[in-house]
Structure 1
Amino acid sequence: MKKWLGKTILGLFGWKISGSVPKELKRMVMVAAPHTSNWDYSIAILSFWYIGIRMRYFIKDAYTRSVFGFLFRASGAIGVDRSRRGNLTSFAIEQLLENDEMVILVPAEGTRSRVDKWKTGFYHIAIQAEVPIVLGYVDYEKRIAGIGPVYYPTGDFETDMAHIEDFYRDKAGRYPEKYNPSIY
């Protein structure tokens, strides 16, 4: 159903889908960027559904507790209370370590506004859970969304982030002025 929904909606709006994840990969951190509007994230999720990825993502718990909460939860949302001091990175690591199959989707910018640098929780999650980072993307200029390379972090933060930055350098969100491709 999700595959059909992703294909149908994206097809109606003229989006193309690219890439795949190797079938043997069952646990991973997936980055979704750029994230300049709710549409960027929605298009990314629809493209991942079409590709066949069953991912989970964190969202304000107000959304999952709303009248439409069942839709968010069905799409993979995990509601989190952002007013409570907690460590979302540790929670994500725990989820990956406790499950044989788990894809955690992370909007690495952490906001729809322009940022000087990305949040690095996705990197630390991947290192500590010993899983690869899958580079998901949306590119409004080309009207293409999907999966880029699977990256296995080495533990050399500077080198790893430079490789990731190279991939995202030419991607454009819905509002290009809100996207900073210099990620670290």
Structure 2
Amino acid sequence: YSRAMNFRCDFLMKSEWFFWPLGILMRWLGGIPVYRSKKMSMTDQLAQVARERDIFHLCITPEGTRSRTEEWKKGFYYIALKAGLPILLYGIDYPTKTIRCTQVVVPNGNIDKQMNDIKAYFKDFTGRHPEKFATGLK
């Protein structure tokens, strides 16, 4: 999608994938290696990367992709908060084959309210495997 819209979108991947020669391709595609052994938290690492770049787009799926979970990870929120960046909510609706981004969240530290707002935005999207997706909202 990002290539079709003519912008670069980075993604996270385990640092083990960034070996020669595959590492060159992964970085070219937008891969950012995650070094789990570093003392610095991943959110601090990514906030630092974001502050150092003129343009920074990072694609994160906070709910996970392999199995159903009611609680979403909040790292994407803290990265945006620490880096002073907005969060653009892109939803993929598999049955209609559409991608929409109609809401932007500017992190203000009120994570409980803003996470509920983010989850509510995604409740109307249907993924390829809807049984694996949950917002945790009642």
Provide the TM-score with structure 1 as the length reference: 0.65
Question: Is 1:148 paired with 2:109?
Answer: no
Are the equivalent residues in 1 in contact too, given 2:70–2:135 (CA < 8 A)? no
What displacement does 1:59 show?
A: 0.6
Match of 2:48 in 1: 94
Match of 1:129 among 77, 80, 83: 83
1:5-27 CA-partner distances (Å, limit 9, x unpaired)? xxxxxxxxxxxxxxxxxxxxxxx
Match of 1:30 in 2: none
Relative contact order (C-alpha < 8 Å, sep 6+): which is higher?
1
What displacement does 1:118 show?
A: 0.7
Deviates most, 64-73 or 49-58: 64-73
What displacement does 1:144 show?
A: 1.0
Q: For this pair of structures, how many residues does the alignment match?
A: 136
Unaligned segments of structure 2, at least 5 residues: none
In structure 1, how many angstroms separate the alpha carbons of the residues matched to 2:102 and 2:20?
33
Paired-residue identity, %: 31
What displacement does 1:158 show?
A: 2.1
- The structure whose residues are more often strand, as a share, is 1
- The structure whose residues are more often helix, as a share, is 1
In structure 1, how many angstroms separate the alpha carbons of the residues matched to 2:64 and 2:19?
21
What displacement does 1:68 show?
A: 4.3
Match of 1:160 among 94, 114, 118: 114
Unaligned segments of structure 1, at least 5 residues: 1-46
Detail structure 1 runs of 4+ shifted over 3 Å in the superposition: 66-71
What displacement does 1:167 show?
A: 1.0
